[in-house]
Amino acid sequence: MHATMTLWIIFAVAGLTVLNRVTGSPAETITPDDANTSAHPNRVLETVEGEENIWKPTVVVVVEEAEEEVMETGELNPSHYPAQRAAKVVQHYINTRHGSPYKVFGLQRVFRANAEDVANSGRKYQLELSVQEMVHNMTVACAAEVLFPGGEATEHSPQVQVSSCDGLLKINASAQEEALYQKYKMNQSLSTENLPDSNGHMEPDHEPFWHLGMVASSFVMLSESTQSTLYNMAQVENATQQATENDQLKIDYHVLLHDIVSQEIIPWRLVVTWSPLEGVKVQKMEKSPNCRHCNKPKP
């Protein structure tokens, strides 16, 4: 019998505090409307009268623990931690295959989840879920399988197979991507930090590079995910364009990742290349030794 957390999660959205209890899952059930989960689980999109949309940080407070079975086999509660953890891995996998500065995917909802132990292989999850492309606000239904390696292979990355994702290839951002590519290929002027800043703001011109940082972070989160983690990207600390001799843009990122389970903030350096033709590639993934000015979320 294993233990997992029962969370009370408190949100302040447009001055209204909503108390939402999530049993057995420190994961994606983080909005008052369970059917409308934010594409970025560390942010809630808030509209303030007279202002543009801004991203506001959520407040997560752990106030209670309870004994729960989390390694059960068979049909799982879709909103509980085991199903959500496996579904987040699918989200990261989709970002590594289809993400771009104008296409970034977040887990929206898990509809069905099944788990089984596979002899000499590990633990397999079969999932029916939806992801939301946050730039164009399009929802895509997917069926996928996630295998967390067991035995001597537990340190290896989870294996993902997506059997269907209806509508994924219909999301067309080619015109936006080409315009961004041409602008920065000629100029090479990107240098920014704190995306978003402490007030949830960022310059509109920098939003595509925040999206690109999220996509690049999915490469790390896919690689690092285990049966004891649940990762989100918290912030792009800084991003600087570097010169390159080929036809790709090259960006040096420093990002902060948040493991919801441990409440640890983990800094990584990523060297990322991108072009509309070649897609996103991460040339370097390097965990930073410490984080001087980032702390665990406070109540």
Residues 67/73, Cβ–Cβ less than 8 Å: no
Q: What is the DSSP letter of 103?
A: B
Element (H, E) at 109: strand 105-118
Check residue 150 and give its pLDDT: 82
Maximum pairwise Cα distance, the chain: 59
Q: Return the pLDDT at 104.
A: 97
Encode 264-286: b = buried (16+ Cβ within 10 Å), e = exposed: ebbbbebbbbbbbeebbebeebe
Q: Which residues of the chain have pLDDT under 50?
A: 1-70, 292, 296-299
Give the pLDDT confidence score for residue 153 in this predicted structure: 57
Q: What is the pLDDT of residue 156?
A: 82
Q: Which amino acid is at 5?
A: M
Asked if residue 103 lies in contact with residue 135, where contact means CB atoms within 8 angstroms, the answer is: yes
Give me the pLDDT at residue 294, please.
52
Assigned token pair, 212: 């690109």
Q: What is the pLDDT of residue 14?
A: 33
Amino acid 28 reads E
For residue 96, how many other CB atoms are within 10 A of its CB?
21
Q: What angle do CA 190, 196, 199 make, to 5 degrees?
A: 135
Q: What is the pTM of this model?
A: 0.75
Model pLDDT, residue 64? 33
Question: Where do runs of H (alpha helix) occur along the chain?
Answer: 81-98, 174-187, 207-224
In the chain, the domains with their CATH numbers are 174-287 (3.10.450.10)
**What gap in Å lies between CA 55 and CA 269, rounded to an integer?**
23
Q: Tokens 């080929």 appear where?
A: 246
